[in-house]
Amino acid sequence: MKRSVGPLSLLALIAALAVVGTAGASHRVNAPVKGSFKYCDNPTFPPLESKTSSGKVVGFDVDMANAIARLWKVKAKFVFSSFGGLLPALGAKRCDVVISGIFITPDRVKQYPAVSYMKTHRALVVKAGNPKSIKGPDDLSGKNVAVQASTKYEEYLKSLNDQFKSSGKDQMNLQSYPGDEDAIAQILLGRADAVLTQDTSGAYQKKKNPGKLAIAYLFPETDTFGIYYRKSDTKLGAALRSAIKTLKKNGTLKVLAKKQQIPVSDVK
């Protein structure tokens, strides 16, 4: 089926280029990417990212990615990954950035730089009424604890278990699951006593399962969520930094946070 570039299509092509050209001319934000950028995301961490029952991906991170894209006048394309596969995918160039409720930590930054965008506290989520009286991490000794696999939460709980062992206390029965929601499900099923996750996730799950869950403990230390990019993409990194700054300044992030009932102080 041959297609010849007739005069009509040529005319249309020129017209399109003209439109693109003039559109860019009004607010020229330096778009570091052409046409679109891909972001890797693991949609199992509401309210930052999750899938609706119809399969659509929604959440704060998705909204923020789209907001950044609007700034640059490009499109943001979602790329699915397991949580443990996010950074490998970035390294393999399956995406340009990682936006997925992932902490900025020293060991990660060594491999891939990141731009921070939100502060958050870790939380221990338990069954409503806190039947096992868990008041803090030390109370986890001897309990059944569920967590999302390959996360920093899991790492922390593992080292906590080592601490318990060396101080002669009972260790936790630790179970790890592909998704954060799978771990929460174990509390609802009665299999786990506690889940270590983020306050954002805890608040969301509490809302979604009214009367069934409670936040037993909020860690005082804060973590920071970041957007990861490859070391070699210095232009992209700079653009991300300025984009986040802009979105914070013009209140966009506040609006998006309010939408998910995330405390606005987290995105100051």
Structure tokens belonging to residue 226: 């970041």
84 binds other proteins (CB under 8 A): yes
175 binds other proteins (CB under 8 A): yes
- Please check whether residue 214 is in contact with residue 128, taking contact to mean a CB–CB distance below 8 angstroms: yes
For other proteins, the binding residues in 87-146 under the rule CB under 8 A are: 87-88, 107, 111, 144, 146
Alpha carbon distance 78, 99 (integer Å): 10
**Of the listed pieces 25-33, 47-55, 93-101, 169-177, which binds other proteins according to CB under 8 A?**
169-177
Alpha carbon distance 114, 36 (integer Å): 20
> By C-beta, is 28 or 93 nearer to other proteins?
93
Alpha carbon distance 54, 150 (integer Å): 27
Alpha carbon distance 268, 266 (integer Å): 6
- Please check whether residue 86 is in contact with residue 178, taking contact to mean a CB–CB distance below 8 angstroms: no
* Backbone angles phi and psi of 206, in degrees to 5: -60, -45
CB 260, min distance to other proteins, A: 26
Determine which residue in the list 189, 211, 221, 232 makes contact with other proteins, applying CB under 8 A.
Answer: 189
> By C-beta, is 116 or 176 nearer to other proteins?
176
66 binds other proteins (CB under 8 A): no
Structure tokens belonging to residue 62: 């998705």
CB 91, min distance to other proteins, A: 8
Residues near other proteins, by CB under 8 A: 84, 87-88, 107, 111, 144, 146, 149-150, 154-155, 173, 175-178, 182, 185-186, 189-191
